[in-house]
Structures are given as structure tokens and as C-alpha cells.
């Protein structure tokens, strides 16, 4: 697959976390543009595969949207066989959830990604 795709990977309803999964060629670079790791020397492009980083999702103007855990799975050892990033937040999805609304808007619009036609992968 050459297109970067994104999907909400958490089932609708009340739950403990919210997860957005991104997969494709530019996944690491694109997600690096909105993720600021707690340890500044780490970027998603240099992060070890199968690892998790704590940090913040930020807007283009560096406003903090929420604190998150970001998991990195590098090709070919992922669900899709491509680079995959999972962005997890400790809140459930809701219509007024700032993290989910921002991340989904960024992933689908700001980064010009296509919504996955097959739903959550």
C-alpha cells in the first residue's frame, strides 16, 4: 500500500482509552509533526520498533492538545506490513473529546491522509 491511512481503532462507547492507528509510507514522518516526546532526543522515525513513547500531541502553534502514548511498529513487522503508529490517550471517544477530535482532524485533513475505506485495521 502506498497511501497513508488512518482509522479510529477503539470501539464506540465508554472505555478506558482512545486509539487512532496510522499506517503507510509517510506514517512516522507525519506523526512526528504532531507528536512531541517527553524525551526530546527521541523522534518516531528513530524510535525502536515495538516500543512506546510518552509525549504530547500539539497543534501547529505548539498548543498542547493532550498527553499520549505512541506505539511504533516498523515494516514489515506490523498489522499492515508497513510502518504503523498507534496514538493512545487515556480518555474515551466522545463528540466533545478534544484529543480525538483534533487527532482525527489532523490525521484526515491537515496531513492530507485518506480515511481507511476498510474501517479500523
* Verdict on whether the full-model pTM lies above 0.85: no
Residue 121: inside a domain: no
**Which contacts qualify for 115-120: CB closer than 8 Å, 24 or more apart?**
115/5, 115/6, 115/7, 116/5, 116/6, 116/7, 119/7, 120/7, 120/8, 120/9, 120/10, 120/21
Residue 93: inside a domain: yes
| Structural domain containing residue 82 | 5-113
Does 111 score more than 70 pLDDT? no
Residue 120: inside a domain: no
How many structural domains does the chain have? 1
Does 53 score more than 60 pLDDT? yes
Residue 86: inside a domain: yes
80-107 pLDDT, tens digit each: 889 999 999 876 555 446 666 666 666 6
**108: domain CATH number?**
3.30.1360.120
Residue 21: inside a domain: yes
Residue 57: inside a domain: yes
The answer to which of 34-38, 54-58, 72-76, 93-97 has the lowest mean pLDDT is 93-97
Residue 46: inside a domain: yes
Amino acid at each position: 500500500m502506498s497511501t497513508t491511512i488512518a482509522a479510529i481503532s477503539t470501539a464506540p462507547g465508554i472505555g478506558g482509552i482512545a486509539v487512532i492507528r496510522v499506517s503507510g509510507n509517510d506514517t512516522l514522518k507525519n506523526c512526528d509533526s504532531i507528536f512531541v516526546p517527553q524525551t526530546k532526543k527521541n523522534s518516531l522515525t528513530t524510535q525502536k520498533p515495538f516500543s512506546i513513547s510518552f509525549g504530547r500531541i500539539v497543534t501547529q502553534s505548539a498548543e498542547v492538545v493532550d498527553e499520549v502514548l505512541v506505539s511504533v511498529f516498523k515494516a514489515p513487522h506490523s498489522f499492515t506490513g508497513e510502518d504503523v503508529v498507534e496514538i493512545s490517550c487515556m480518555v474515551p471517544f466522545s463528540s466533545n473529546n478534544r484529543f480525538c477530535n483534533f487527532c482525527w482532524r489532523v490525521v484526515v485533513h491537515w496531513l492530507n491522509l485518506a480515511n481507511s475505506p476498510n474501517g479500523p485495521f
